[in-house]
Amino acid sequence: MAEIKLAAAVRTEFGKGSARRIRRANQVPAVIYGHGGEPVHVSLPGHDLMMALKNSNVLLSLDIEGRTELVIPKQVQRDALKGFLEHVDLLVVERGEKVTVEIPVHTEGELAPGGNLLEHTLTALPVEAEATHIPEAVTVSIAGLEAGASVLAKDVVLPAGSTLAVDGETVVLHVVAGQSAPADEATEGAEA
């Protein structure tokens, strides 16, 4: 995973009015916290931050008044209607430090024939990984799975350096039998 560098400006004004002025200037208000230090309020370039957040669990290298701070997004608030970034909470991390994050679960392959449905019980899997080596996603093969089959967290092959941060017996994916009636019966019932 690559580090994305952004310039951050320290904020001295707080409150709703200040946040609106920051957003009008195409900036996003943010708070950096962690490692027992005082929270630092900053503003970040809106477009650059939006593009960086398209990568899951992105590692940001912030330039704050000449010093560099490594952070990962902990919480992102977006406008419910327009989707623009309203506020971001960032967690300070250090190289070599282990962090707990959720990585997306992707699937590959086809289910066994029969109209079965795949249910994603977990769309993201909690794992612990080194802050500078967070996996982007995990891929699970569903090839040939039949109705009633489940994939447990302990069955998912994790990238090197990652460990599960959830109980191994947690169901990640589950195959459910399709509920479709035969076509002939469906049309006969409609005619009656």
Question: How is residue 49 written in tokens?
Answer: 């931050």
> Domains (ranges, CATH) in the chain?
3-93 (2.40.240.10), 99-176 (2.170.120.20)
The pLDDT of residue 133 is above 80: yes
Average pLDDT of the chain to the nearest whole number: 85
pLDDT, tens only, 137-179? 899 998 888 888 899 999 999 888 889 999 989 999 998 987 7
The pLDDT of residue 183 is above 80: no
The pTM assigned to this predicted structure is 0.71
Question: How is residue 179 written in tokens?
Answer: 């509920």
* Closest listed residue to residue 112, CA positions, set 75, 71, 141: 141
The pLDDT of residue 189 is above 70: no
pLDDT recorded at residue 31: 92
Distance of CA 41 to the CA centre of its chain: 23
